Structure 1
Amino acid sequence: MPVVTPTKRSAWIVALAAGSLLWTSGAAHADKPVGSDTNPPPGNEAQGDADHRTLLASVSQSRIRVTRSDGGTEQGSMDELTSVDPNWEPPVCWYEPVFTPAGLKAAVENLEREGGLGAVNAHEWWSAGIFVDHYDKAVDEDNFDLDSPTNSTAQGYRNYNIGKQGMFWRSVVRKGHEDDIRAWDCGRIMFWQDAGTVPDDEYAPTPETLAAYAYDKIQVPETEVELRPAARSTVNLPTWVWLDKAIFKDVTVRAELPNTGLWAETTAKPVALHLDPGTKDAETYPASGDCAINADGSIGTPYTRGSADGTPPCGIRYLRASGGDPYRLTASITWEISWEGTGGARGDLPDGTFETTQDMTVQEIQSINR
């Protein structure tokens, strides 16, 4: 993470510009109204966070609250989905409310006492001086907008805007992307936003932002499919594949950004199982390898005694023995992703998949103990 002090600022800008980098301006001035929950709760007006350490927080420390209500939690281990669209990903950066006026004042006073550097945006860390000058003494400062020869100017504030209704907002970067060049798109230094509005800015949070954030937090059951015969099969003998209806249910993740009225609930619904036998010398049932979800939420049909020679609705028939190394049977669950949020907003996100593999030894013997 770069540390940019007043004496290093010009050199830092020149170095970045010399790299022929393209940036998106963080400057924006108009506001957009939002829904309810746009004011700090009663009695909380003096807080930024409980111990005033928000100025020292990691750039990836979002204040978005995530709650899960999924049907797989009690089934054991969970894992994250992988988007079927390799070009899709959640936003890299956005702005969030961080401090009330009194909360910012308390945090700056704490920084003055303890020393060190505080984050004025997701990229620049300063001593207490800039916070006092800009947010208390109304000294104008530059935003870190590197798409133009000169930075846009951020107008200073008097006495941390104490007495006004609203909050100071600051940029945040998605975890794992702190060094991503696109994170510099959110270049404005911490700025004021009146209560009941969000910034009219390309990188202001929206229900879609929260839906994508929630998508990134979805976890699904890490469960192997049921097989019969299990792990060891015979050439030309169908292997039945199924999943119990109690395991795979809709998984919901709700993301809310306090003091904005913004929320989104993202739902992952299992819709299909895809089988890859791990060899071209095999047939799948159905031929596409895609086993649909049954009406009761199950996949396929459990094997029953006497069904060995039948054709399974979901399964595999190996045509050649595996030899020294077993085949790698891959089972991929496809989850359909939709979301709804503030003001009736709704939409779809790319499907997600969760993949498991299992060794399959296939023998030539034409009889098997059933």
Structure 2
Amino acid sequence: MRTTARLAALLACSAAALVAFSPNAHAWGEGDPGKQPAPPANKPSGDAAGNTLTAGATSITVKQVSGGKRGGTSARPVTPVDPNWQPPPCWYEPVATPEELKAGVEKVKKGEGRDAGTIPVTPSLGWGKDLMVDHYEKGKTQSDGADGYKNFNIGKKGMFWRGVMNPDVEDTFETRDCEQLLFWQNANTVPDIPNAPSPEVLASYAYNKIKVPGTKVELKPEGKSTVNLPTWVWLDKGAFEDVKVRAELPGTGIWAETTAKPKSLHLEPGTADAQTFPASGECKVNDDGSIGTPYTKGSSKQNPPCGIAYLRSTNGKPFQLKASITWEITWEGSGDTGGDLPNGTFDGTQGINVQEIQSINR
């Protein structure tokens, strides 16, 4: 159900207060984790012992499996080539066992905690004790037709799920499209509803977690470049290896690995008075993973497969050479799934001084 309809239903339930929460709601409480899948290792701070089932970040775990280590502190996420693409704005996740939900409601009944006794039941709204008891303990059907639960479904195998707003996208109407009330899902199943988690959702979420190394390129001859003489540009095959990130949603069996593979290097000389090699400025990745060809002695008068020839000197103010790496993004995931995501780019600039030697003839 879309946000507007859900809000109307919630506002009709005047028996208890409704409180707005910050985005990215997630909850865990106390309970018997041996009866259900264990809470994720990175569960947010705060639980039923602290006050109620509290709000926090997504449970999706992300790990960089390979690549990107050479980037160090210069490593950054890629920027999608398609400016209109963005990862999924929201999805649903398991957030509490029956025991955890009961423990949270008990805290609300006792008036413990600092958040005025509410439990988040959607990414943006919380319920007070009356609604929680009526719906999740006594099994009362809500005005919007949502079925209630008897004694928090204790004794059944499964978990309560709730929507999560993607923390990596701007808060819009789309991020608030996962407003279904905290609901029950049987163990080892995934809800068949819009915005349910999937391998592709996890792959798209992992897209923004990929960190690739900076793009400072090797230049030869070293030192100052010379007017009309080509400067050779290359990247060693070990500098820009594939980068792979794995994302998993604990308790669901859903996972995805998103891989960024360097595709090409694009050169922008920083001045119109320059010639690029090739003319497009687009240097392809070689079969061995390198870009361009290393400069060797005696090559200064040859045209490089990847490089620049400046046609005038800098006169004390360096040209700003912009080097952009295009990364091809693909993914594979649970259930023998996989596909493509938009290419990404990462660029950097470096100053180039160009000297003029009058005795050189071309």
Common fold: TM-score over 0.5: yes
Contact kept? 1:140, 1:155, Cα under 8 Å: yes
Distance 1:128 1:136 in 2: 10
CA change 1:251–1:125 in 2 (3 A) is same
Could you say if the C-alpha distance between residues 183 and 141 of structure 1 is closer, same or farther in structure 2, counting changes exceeding 3 Å?
farther
- Rounded to whole Å, the distance in 1 between the matches of 2:108 and 2:222 is 62
Q: Does 1:9 align with 2:1?
A: no
Tell me which amino acid in the other structure corresponds to 2:283: C
Deviation, 1:323, is 4.1
Aligned to 2:259, the other structure's residue is in SS state: strand
Q: 1:56 to 1:230 in 2, by over 3 A?
A: farther
1:353 aligns with 2:341: no
Structure 2: gaps of 5 or more residues: 1-5, 14-30
Work out the CA distance in 2 between the residues paired with 1:278 and 1:228. Answer: 18
Alignment check: 8 A CA contact 1:235 1:366 kept:
no
Following superposition, the deviation at residue 293 of structure 1 comes to: 1.1
Offset of residue 287 of structure 1: 1.2
Matching of residues 292-303 of structure 1 within 5 Å: 292-303=284-295
Q: Is the 2:138–2:151 contact (alpha carbons within 8 Å) kept by the matching residues of 1?
A: yes
Amino acid corresponding to residue 93 of structure 1 in structure 2: C
Equivalents in 1 of 2:169, 2:78: separation in Å? Answer: 18
Aligned residue in 1 for 2:62: 66
Q: Of 80, 102, 113, which aligns to 1:105? A: 102
Residue pair 1:330, 1:357 contacting (<8 A) in 2 also: yes
Q: Could you tell me how far apart the structure 2 residues matched to 1:174 and 1:333 are? A: 27
Letter of the structure 2 residue corresponding to residue 191 of structure 1: F
Q: Which shows bigger deviation, 294-303 or 231-240?
A: 231-240
Shift of the 367–295 alpha-carbon distance from structure 1 to 2, 3 Å rule, reads farther
2:85 paired residue among 85, 88, 93: 88
Which residue in the other structure is 2:308 paired with? 316
Bigger drift between 279-288 and 81-90 goes to 279-288
| Alignment correspondent of 2:195 | 203
Q: Aligned equivalents of 1:161 and 1:306: distance in 2?
A: 79
Specify the code of the residue in structure 2 equivalent to 1:122: P
1:131 match: secondary structure: helix
Q: Hey, what does 2:34 align to over in structure 1?
A: 43
Alignment-derived partner of residue 147 in structure 1: none
2:104/2:119 contact within 8 Å kept: no
Deviation at 1:111, TM superposition (A): 3.8
1:164 offset after TM fit, Å? 1.0
Aligned-pair CA distance for 1:109: 2.0
Query: TM-score, normalization: structure 2?
Result: 0.82
Task: Name the amino acid aligned to 2:36.
Answer: E
- Per-residue CA distance 1:73-118 (angstroms, 9 max, x = gap): 1442211100001011100101011111112112222344424232
- In 2, Cα distance between equivalents of 1:163 and 1:140: 21
Aligned equivalents of 1:109 and 1:231: distance in 2? 71
> In structure 2, what is the Cα distance between the partners aligned to 1:229 and 1:341?
45
What's the secondary structure of 1:203's corresponding residue?
coil
1:99-145: per-residue Cα shift (whole Å, max 9, x none)?
A: 11112112222344424232111010233332222111112235xxx
Q: 1:202–1:5: structure 2 CA closer, same or farther, 3 Å change rule?
A: closer
Of 252, 265, 268, which residue of structure 2 is paired with 1:260? 252
**Paired letter, 2:173:** I
- Corresponding residue for residue 56 of structure 1: 54
The alpha carbon displacement at 1:201 in A equals: 1.1
Structure 2: distance between partners of 1:127 and 1:47? 27
Asked if structure 1 preserves the Cα contact closer than 8 Å seen for 2:325 and 2:346, the reply is yes
Helix, strand or coil: the match of 1:183?
helix
CA contact (8 A) 1:55 1:120 kept: no
> Do the aligned partners of residues 266 and 187 (structure 1) sit closer, same or farther apart at CA in structure 2, a change above 3 Å counting?
same
Aligned-pair identity (%): 56
Partner SS for 1:300: coil
Aligned mates of 2:356, 2:71 — CA distance in 1 = 36
Distance in 1 between the 2:303 and 2:81 partners?
30
1:251-291 deviations in Å (ceiling 9; x for gaps): 11111111212111111111111111122221111111111
Could you tell me how far apart the structure 1 residues matched to 2:288 and 2:9 are?
Answer: 66
Superposition deviation, residue 330 in structure 1: 0.7
- Which residue of the partner structure matches residue 365 of structure 1? 357
Structure 1, unaligned stretches of length 5 or more? 12-39, 143-151
SS in structure 2 opposite 1:102?
helix
Partners of 1:215 and 1:41 in 2: CA distance? 34
1:331-346 paired onto structure 2 within 5 Å: 331-346=323-338
Verify the 8 A CA contact 1:46 1:101 in the aligned structure 2: no
Residue in 2 aligned with 1:146? none
2:231 counterpart of 1:239: yes
- Tell me, what secondary structure is at the counterpart of 2:202? helix
Q: Which residue of 2 aligns with 1:272?
A: 264
TM-score calculated relative to the size of structure 1: 0.81
Choose 85-94 or 43-52, whichever is displaced more.
43-52
For 1:296 and 1:286, the matched residues in 2 are separated by: 19
1:191-210 deviation line (CA, Å, top 9, x unaligned): 11112221111111111101
Residue aligning to 1:174: 166
| Counterpart code for 2:102 | K
| Amino acid across the alignment from 1:118 | I
Separation in 1, partners of 2:128, 2:7 = 8
Q: CA deviation at 1:365?
A: 2.7
